[in-house]
Chains A and B, each alone.
Chain A
Amino acid sequence: MSIMTENLCFSYGEKDVLNNISFSAEYGQFLSVLGPNGVGKSTLFRCMLGLLTPTKGSTSIDGKPVADMSATQLAQRIAYIPQSHNPVFNFSVFDMVLMGTTAQLGSFESPKKEQTIQAEAALERLGITHLKDRGYGNISGGERQLTLIARAIAQQARILVMDEPSASLDFGNRIRLMQTVRALAKDEYAIIQSTHDPDQAFLYSDKILALHNGEVLIWGSPQETVCDSLISKLYGTDIEVCSLRGDDIRVCVPANIKKIRK
């Protein structure tokens, strides 16, 4: 078991955000976290990454609780991939990826030959070597997302936590990104992503964690999770799940679509 969260609760002051969340992910697995806006997906991620301390329960990585690890120890095991952002300073794509290697360095050290090779390998792996010298602020959203993933690969952590990686991407980039991430999972990375797209979660992930009102609605296989009743309850609207190509694909559509069209 690579990462395991047990009975995790979190509250901001009086307000309970997360209640009794338990799930786990193994290396080689791709886990999607589904849930409506504001359900606490980001809060859950922050707790897993050691940025927030849960009020109750804990997350452990390879059997060791997150709370007992230093920032460096954590960074060597779990990497965070934020939504592609626009940083204040326009670093080159290469420098951005190279920053991922910082956890291997002493406080007063700068990256050396070894780290440069790791960063180059990460760029190569994501197929963005040609962007190396471009400014991170000058490339497209999809390219930025790939850069951030390359940075996480350079970090040498084997658990990758992604915050809505495909949110701001166009249709083609979204598919390419998901296939890249899927391939990474195959290479023994444990990948946990949050997403607003149940079709995509069904298509690519091995397991789905659905959060509703701060609790686990279901933690199960895509086949169990993406069905009429659960998805309708999850998003509070009538949804019909259509199965295509011998159930290789499921598509969620509004149940009352005929009425609206009329």
Chain B
Amino acid sequence: MFKEKKRISYSGVIAILSVALIVVIIGSVALGRYPISIKELAGIIGSKIFDIEPFWTKTQESLLLNHRLPRIILACLVGCCLSAAGASYQGIFQNPMASPDILGASQGAGFGAALAILLHLSGSMIIVFSFTFSMLTVAIVIYTGTRAKGKRVLGLILAGIMIGSLPYSGTSFIKLVADPEDQLPAITYWLMGSLNGTAPKDVLLALVPMCIGLVPLFLLRWRINILTLGDEEAQTMGVNAKRLRIIVILCATLITAASVSVSGLIGWVGLVIPHLTRRMVGHNYKHLMPASMLFGAIFLLLVDDVSRNLLATEIPIGILTSFIGAPFFIYLITRDGERN
């Protein structure tokens, strides 16, 4: 008899991941060149609600509330969103190799950011520009893809590759004409992805579209299972496949665009995390979606900790995720042939 691998129960996995997330968040606060202890963290947070005599310095409070905490929250949000978007795209395109940029969201965001930097716009405008161009690119991809003859899913993926290359070449052109003294490094740095310099208002800016996208994906997660079987089968099981796919695409695009516009291009997370999570909780999206969201948040926060603490200068997080993601994925697919 074959023996299926024993798994920890789903609720067990969720409990472990939740505890791990809290531990990593607290650990991340403490990490950094300017130390903040757990006691100080509790004090500063507590003083917002209770009347506590400060036993910490003003610098510590300002650092925690204006820099470290926003950055930690954003790392968690971006990790959560990219993983959720990756898992969703993999399901609705019946393609395990799909990642959040499959419909050109990242390429569009990159172009928008480069354009904003070229026009000397402020930090918030860079976010607005990259978000707008990201959504615009995906809108054109969907418009083209759904009009393609033949298989709908294939049409969308092909349109994503083709149209995604347009903003990419646009970005290259902007790099060519940008001022090599200050603009070009800024563009290059943005494209590599970084959470450096996250301001509290950036978190709020990203939070709205993220919530609008994440909530429906979470609620529709059981139905995504049915879509992985293909349109015709889904239809005979009572699911309006066409409509569901468009809703999932819109939500997944929204959270991808919101993520990349604040963080720059962070690759691999959306592809690798859902696959790792499948190893833990199986393929059922009812379990996969929440576990991916939690695991993605933990992963990106850990990588961001490395990114800001490993060397004296910050390492762009996009470089690190590729550096960790690619070999890890190779290990994953070669480890065993058993498809479980």
Contacts and interface: CB of A to CB of B under 8 A. Distances in A.
Interface in B1-48: 2, 4
Contacts, number: 90
Interface string B232-248: 11011111100000000
A92 B174 CA distance: 50
Interface in A62-118: 70-72, 74-76, 78-80, 82, 87-92, 95, 99-100, 102-103, 105, 107-111
B169 interface: no
Interface residues of A, number: 37
A138 interface: yes
Contacts of B229: 87, 99
A138 B340 contact: yes
A79 B236 contact: yes
B284 to A, nearest CB: 5
B221 A49 contact: no
Interface residues of B, number: 31
Given A103-B238, A155-B237, A111 B225 contact: no
B283 A89 contact: yes
Given A95-B283, A138-B2, A90 B239 contact: no
Contacts of B338: 138
A187 interface: no
A99 B226 contact: yes
Interface string A230-262: 000000000000000000000000000000000
Contacts of A99: 225-226, 229, 237
Given A71-B238, A88-B96, A103-B238, A135 B340 contact: yes
Given A88-B96, A102-B223, A134 B237 contact: no
Interface of A: 46, 49-51, 70-72, 74-76, 78-80, 82, 87-92, 95, 99-100, 102-103, 105, 107-111, 133-135, 137-138, 155
17 contacts: A50-B235, A51-B232, A75-B237, A80-B232, A80-B233, A88-B96, A89-B91, A99-B229, A100-B237, A102-B223, A102-B226, A107-B220, A107-B223, A109-B222, A135-B339, A138-B4, A155-B237
